[in-house]
């Protein structure tokens, strides 16, 4: 069941479907950034506000789940997010691990270990 929620989330992100994306999360969802605690938030409304801003700034944003392991109600996944800024700003390119805890058919908690990808020049 946990894998199915994560698959719905990836599809909603890549389809830029804010309603489907938000519906993947519990109303009392908790988002934790252990390395950046000020970025943590609670609630489904926080998910919506966060992704509204991302979709607005990077209308072509995409998500790829490159690897995953499921253990009980958790999915540990290696993610990549990338998108271009339409106004010529810096691209959005992050990679890292997100640990998703599922309750029923929704995500109840996520722990983010994502960082911007350093662009390497020749």
Q: What are the backbone angles phi and psi of residue 103, rounded to the nearest 5°?
A: -130, 120
Extents of the domains making up the chain: 2-116
Fold of 2-116: Nuclear Transport Factor 2; Chain: A, (3.10.450)
Tens digits of per-residue pLDDT, 11-29? 999 999 999 999 999 999 9
Cite the beta strand spans of 4-91 per DSSP E.
25-32, 41-42, 62-71, 74-83
Per residue in 38-94, pLDDT (tens digit) is 999 999 999 999 999 999 999 999 999 999 999 999 999 999 999 999 998 899 999
Which tokens in the block code for residue 97?
């691990």
Asked if 115 and 97 touch (Cβ cutoff 8 Å), the reply is no
Mean pLDDT of 106-121: 92
Phi and psi of 113, rounded to 5°? -130, 60
Structure tokens that stand for 80 in this block: 């990549």
């Amino acid at each position: 069941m946990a894998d199915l929620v994560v698959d719905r989330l990836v599809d909603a992100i890549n389809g830029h479907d804010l309603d489907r994306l938000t519906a993947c999360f519990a109303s009392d969802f908790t988002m934790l950034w252990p390395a950046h605690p000020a970025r943590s938030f609670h609630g489904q409304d926080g998910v919506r506000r966060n992704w509204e801003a991302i979709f607005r700034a990077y209308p072509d944003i995409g998500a790829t789940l490159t690897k995953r392991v499921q253990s009980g109600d958790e999915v540990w996944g290696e993610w990549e997010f990338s998108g271009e800024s339409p106004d010529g700003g810096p691209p959005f390119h992050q990679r890292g691990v997100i640990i998703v805890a599922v309750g029923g058919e929704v995500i109840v908690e996520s722990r983010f270990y994502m960082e911007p990808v350093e662009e390497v020049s020749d």
